[in-house]
Amino acid sequence: MKVPFIGAAVAAVLVTACASPQDKERDSFWALYESTFKTAKYVDLTHAFEPTQPVWPGFGPAKFKPAIAGADLGDFAKKGDEFTYEKHGFIATAYELTTDQYGTQLDPPAHWDNLGATISDLPASFTLRPLVVVDIHGQVAKDPGYHATIEDVKAWEAKHGRVPEGSVVMFRSDWYKRWSDVANFAKAPFPGVKLDTLQFLHNERKILFHGHEPLDTDTTPTLEGEYWLMHNHFAQAEGVANLDQVPEAGALIAIGFAKPKGGVGGYARYIAICPPSWPHGVSVIDAPGAPLPKQPYPLKRNADGVLVPTP
């Protein structure tokens, strides 16, 4: 028997009224996803890391290569055999990583301070925060070595209000567009953030951390900004991309990172979550993620060992 709509609605109200507080919270969170996060626009702020990319010369590049069997596995594989689609039904990649300070990253205090928190100490509450984007790309276009000032932050506040406590503040310089210039990306002059700006953001505005597009905080001889951050137990993001594609205010940032035990750097994934009307990015409706798209050609390793679709 079909239940009339009005009766179904009343039944739903009765069920909700009788629901436990935990059930109400669950339903409220799921409703928030359906009403907000499902239609929001998602913008990736992360460079994919690979062997050929900017890195501090003291570390050198990573190496990608096929994974091999680490032990004899009977008729399936002998020790040292490369796993292949044809013989084993799967493949895997081995990564020779010269450093955890590689690509888009999250630096914890232990990077500089032997009493600092490591990447595996960071709390799960890092996951989702308000995103503030301070735009200095105009200044950087005139002066590649421009360093963000307190006045730049206050100019943002004059337009958007006080920087939210606990937020992540990213400095847009558009330096990320030079990522393919591997030989010069990390060489000075490049844009940075002044020490007093970092102190203002942390001491006065109580932010979670800041982020920038280059691979260093500043170009002072002692890297004074990074030194101060790490020794005062603050984290920072480096090598961020696509800040020109997110709003200066009103977005959130989702923060994910690898969790090596005792790690002093995190291979990070930053995603900006923007309002549904924002012109950049994709929504869950646009890109549901399951099933994932099929490659246009079979995957083969290029000269760097990276898997790419190859005709």
Sequential pLDDT tens for the chain (311 residues): 443 334 443 344 444 555 677 787 778 889 999 999 999 999 999 999 999 999 998 999 999 999 999 999 999 999 999 999 999 999 999 999 999 999 999 999 999 999 999 999 999 999 999 999 999 999 999 999 999 999 999 999 999 999 999 999 999 999 999 999 999 999 999 999 999 999 999 999 999 999 999 999 999 999 999 999 999 999 999 999 999 999 999 999 999 999 999 999 999 999 999 999 999 999 999 999 999 999 999 999 999 999 999 99
Q: What is the CA radius of gyration of the chain?
A: 23
pLDDT digits (tens, 9 = 90+) for 2-20: 433 344 433 444 445 556 7
Q: What is the pLDDT of residue 11?
A: 41
Global model pTM greater than 0.75: yes
Q: What is the pLDDT of residue 14?
A: 40
Question: Can you give the CATH number for the domain in which 125 is found?
Answer: 3.50.30.50
Q: Tell me the DSSP string of 15-55.
A: HHHHS-HHHHHHHHHHHHIIIIITTSEEEE-BPPP-SSS--
Is residue 151 included in any domain, yes or no? yes
Residue type, 253: I
Query: Which range marks the domain in which residue 150 is found?
Result: 105-274
Is residue 37 included in any domain, yes or no? no
Determine whether 211 is exposed, middle or buried from the number of CB atoms within 10 Å of its CB (0-12, 13-18, 19+): buried
pLDDT digits (tens, 9 = 90+) for 100-125: 999 999 999 999 999 999 999 999 99
Domain count, the chain: 1
pLDDT digits (tens, 9 = 90+) for 235-263: 999 999 999 999 999 999 999 999 999 99
Is residue 41 included in any domain, yes or no? no
Is residue 53 included in any domain, yes or no? no
Is residue 18 included in any domain, yes or no? no
Is residue 301 included in any domain, yes or no? no
Is residue 110 included in any domain, yes or no? yes
Is residue 117 included in any domain, yes or no? yes
Q: What is the pLDDT of residue 9?
A: 39
